[in-house]
């Protein structure tokens, strides 16, 4: 969606290492925003993005208009059930339908051999992976690790909405997720206990409102008893800005990868 930052840079670098031709799509997709969401104010610094792509050795930038992507009323939609049901899917109704549909469109247009997605949006990545398998799309999906500020805040185009004060407290999200992951690594198997701990860390800061904090399996299903690899994922509103983040962790003694 543009407003490129070092997290996107990491995606491009991975693609650059592994590919003869690297294409970047920049498209703020209206169909994945709720009406109440920030579609109109979402940043669109196209000139800066193009310079960023040039500096990273990108061969092709595809930055279509809304009319080019949706020349007629869109009647066809892709639904990925189950994987998209919880967390972001629950709090942003229609988001994954719009995202999956536009990703499928972009994949059909560009026909890449590999497509790179960031792990910061872990559920989005899981939805795309499932769609690609279920629909036999001839593309390999590559997940790329989250890039963080030195204080731990995950890079996001929405970070620029934060006031100085909000920015100062935002790293608490990652701190809470890290605490949760450590608890799990130390042997805690109750998701409820892990959630309570992480939520306590976030509750110390009154300007934060937790939308969800879940421990989910690789299919993005919330678990109550932690027995294998899980993701601790959260959406937290910092003032008016909604941020998401997640960490992957493995229960002590489980057969993780």
Which residues bind to its own copies, rule: CB under 8 A? 72, 74-83, 100-101, 104-105, 108-109, 111, 130-131, 133-138
CA separation for the pair 38, 34 (Å, rounded)? 8
Which contiguous run of DSSP H or E holds residue 69?
helix 66-69
> Shortest distance, CB of residue 125 to its own copies, whole angstroms?
15
CA separation for the pair 201, 175 (Å, rounded)? 8
> Shortest distance, CB of residue 76 to its own copies, whole angstroms?
4
Closer CB to its own copies, residue 34 or residue 111? 111
Tell me the torsion sign for CA atoms 143, 148, 154, 160: negative
Neighbours of 233 (CB within 10 A): 25
CA distances from 209 to 43, 93, 204 (A): 23, 19, 11
Closer CB to its own copies, residue 83 or residue 154? 83
> Shortest distance, CB of residue 95 to its own copies, whole angstroms?
16
Give the residue among 81, 100, 92, 78 at the shortest CA–CA distance from 29.
100
Q: Is 8 among the residues known to form the active site? A: yes
> Shortest distance, CB of residue 96 to its own copies, whole angstroms?
11
Closer CB to its own copies, residue 137 or residue 223? 137
Q: Which of 8, 56, 86, 95 is catalytic?
A: 8
Closer CB to its own copies, residue 105 or residue 195? 105
Active site residues: 8
């Amino acid at each position: 969606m543009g407003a490129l930052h070092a997290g996107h840079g990491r995606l491009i670098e991975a693609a650059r290492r592994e590919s003869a031709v690297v294409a970047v799509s920049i498209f703020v997709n209206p169909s994945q925003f709720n009406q109440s969401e920030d579609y109109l104010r979402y940043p669109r610094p196209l000139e800066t993005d193009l310079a960023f792509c040039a500096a990273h050795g990108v061969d092709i930038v595809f930055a279509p208009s809304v009319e080019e992507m949706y020349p007629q009323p869109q009647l066809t939609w892709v639904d990925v059930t189950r994987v998209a049901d919880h967390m972001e899917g629950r709090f942003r109704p229609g988001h994954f339908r719009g995202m999956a549909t536009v990703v499928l469109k972009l994949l059909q247009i560009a026909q890449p051999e590999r497509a790179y997605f960031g792990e910061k949006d872990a559920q989005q990545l899981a939805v795309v992976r499932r769609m690609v398998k279920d629909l036999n799309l001839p593309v390999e999906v590559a997940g790329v690790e989250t890039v963080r500020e030195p204080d731990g805040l995950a890079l996001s185009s929405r970070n620029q909405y934060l006031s100085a004060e909000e920015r100062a407290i935002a790293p608490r999200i990652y701190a809470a997720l890290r605490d949760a992951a450590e608890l799990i690594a130390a042997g805690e198997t109750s998701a409820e206990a892990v959630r309570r701990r992480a939520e306590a860390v976030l509750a110390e800061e009154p300007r934060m409102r937790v939308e969800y904090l879940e421990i989910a399996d690789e299919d993005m299903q919330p678990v109550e008893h932690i027995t294998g690899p899980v993701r601790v994922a959260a959406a937290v509103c910092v003032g008016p800005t909604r941020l998401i983040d997640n960490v992957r962790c493995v229960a002590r003694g489980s057969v993780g990868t």
